[in-house]
Amino acid sequence: MKAIVQREYGPPLEVLQLEDVDDPQPGGHEVVVRVRAAGVNALDWHLVTGEPTILRLAGTGVRRPKRSGVGRDVAGVVEAVGKDVTRFEPGAEVFGWCSGAFAEVVVTREDSLVDKPANVSFEQAAAVPVAAITALQGLRDRGELQRGQQVLITGASGGVGTFAVQLAKHLGSEVTAVCSTRNLDLVRSIGADHVVDYTQEDFTRIGKRYDVILDIAGRPPLLGCRRSLKPGGRLVMAGGEGNRWFGPLGRNARGMALSLVGRRRMLTFLAKETRDDTLVLADLLSSGDLSPVIDRTYGLAAAPEAVHYLEDGHTQGKVVVVV
């Protein structure tokens, strides 16, 4: 079968190649999935380039990547199951996460997958796992967002942000979305009550205060964010690229330090893939309360271009590789 393979760190267009590799075989609790679509995430770009460098020390491989497969989010059809698998049978349409999703076939644990709702396409389902779980956990768990509260979301038009706007509305909050001029209509169309065009105004200087700020863009000044929180409010530092050595760690540390004084919390946040939350998202897809926004799709051979496209950080919703 064909798969996108990475043997060294570097620019996606240089280090990613489509190669013939062996078909994966399932272990006891594993499922073989014929991939129909694979979502592309900022995470993939980081793992391909090996930046920030701290990531390599955290276990991806210091000199070269330990894993050659690329891509995390997957949607497809179960082709074979291991002897201990109880949840799925061949033919089931599923989505979830795996290692090396940019491939014709993948193997992953059965608890990494859920049934794909019949009303969404494989492309839509593949757009969901990492980005929507990040949005859900950032708002509900780290932000402790409550019904009736006011939330501001930066990076609202991107992969994580377009899910965050919809989920914040679903959680019953009043949503202010921050994005650039060309995306104002997009964020309104997915439910934002108010918009701030960051090319025209700085939300930290317009005198409004929020219960929760989900900072996906990672750009606004931290002191300004603190000023824009109500007493007891929470800033969830979900995104941002930072420098090439430490990524967002420096900004996160400054935020935590600012939290030591006063009643406003500035919180670091790392999403965790869980089957329970993927089931929550599957229900919302099924009921139509969540609808993935897809910027563009690429074929498998063009997956390096898809990862490269993410580098600029201006996607409108999600990018998906269709296999």
Ligand X SMILES: NC(=O)c1ccc[n+]([C@@H]2O[C@H](COP(=O)([O-])OP(=O)(O)OC[C@H]3O[C@@H](n4cnc5c(N)ncnc54)[C@H](OP(=O)(O)O)[C@@H]3O)[C@@H](O)[C@H]2O)c1
Which residues form the interface with ligand X (CB under 6 A)?
A: 41-42, 130-131, 134, 154-155, 157-161, 179-180, 183, 198, 216-219, 238-241, 269-271, 310, 313-315
Q: How far is the CB of 150 from ligand X (least distance, A)?
A: 19
Q: Alpha-carbon distance 296 to 167, whole Å?
A: 22
Q: Alpha-carbon distance 317 to 63, whole Å?
A: 33
Q: How far is the CB of 38 from ligand X (least distance, A)?
A: 14
What are the strands, taking DSSP E only, across 41-90?
A: 73-81
From the list 158, 80, 190, the residue with the least C-alpha distance to 316 is 158
Q: How far is the CB of 164 from ligand X (least distance, A)?
A: 9
Q: Closer to ligand X at the Cβ: 80 or 190?
A: 190
DSSP track, 267-280: EE------HHHHHH
Q: How far is the CB of 179 from ligand X (least distance, A)?
A: 4
Q: How far is CA 21 from CA 49, 105, 196, 225, 278, in A?
A: 22, 10, 48, 48, 29
Q: Closer to ligand X at the Cβ: 70 or 131?
A: 131
Q: Closer to ligand X at the Cβ: 225 or 310?
A: 310
Q: How far is the CB of 26 from ligand X (least distance, A)?
A: 28
Q: Which residue has the tokens 């402790």?
A: 144
The closest residue (CB) to ligand X is: 158
Tokens of 43: 């995470």
Q: Closer to ligand X at the Cβ: 34 or 275?
A: 275
Q: How far is the CB of 90 from ligand X (least distance, A)?
A: 32
Q: Closer to ligand X at the Cβ: 122 or 198?
A: 198
What are the strands, taking DSSP E only, across 123-252?
A: 150-154, 174-179, 194-197, 210-215, 229-237
Q: Closer to ligand X at the Cβ: 237 or 285?
A: 237
Q: How far is the CB of 129 from ligand X (least distance, A)?
A: 10
What are the strands, taking DSSP E only, across the chain?
A: 2-6, 16-20, 30-40, 73-81, 93-97, 105-109, 113-115, 150-154, 174-179, 194-197, 210-215, 229-237, 265-268, 294-299, 318-322
Q: Closer to ligand X at the Cβ: 32 or 210?
A: 210
Q: Closer to ligand X at the Cβ: 32 or 130?
A: 130
β-bridge mates for residue 151, sequence order? 175, 212
Q: How far is the CB of 4 from ligand X (least distance, A)?
A: 19
What are the strands, taking DSSP E only, across 210-281?
A: 210-215, 229-237, 265-268
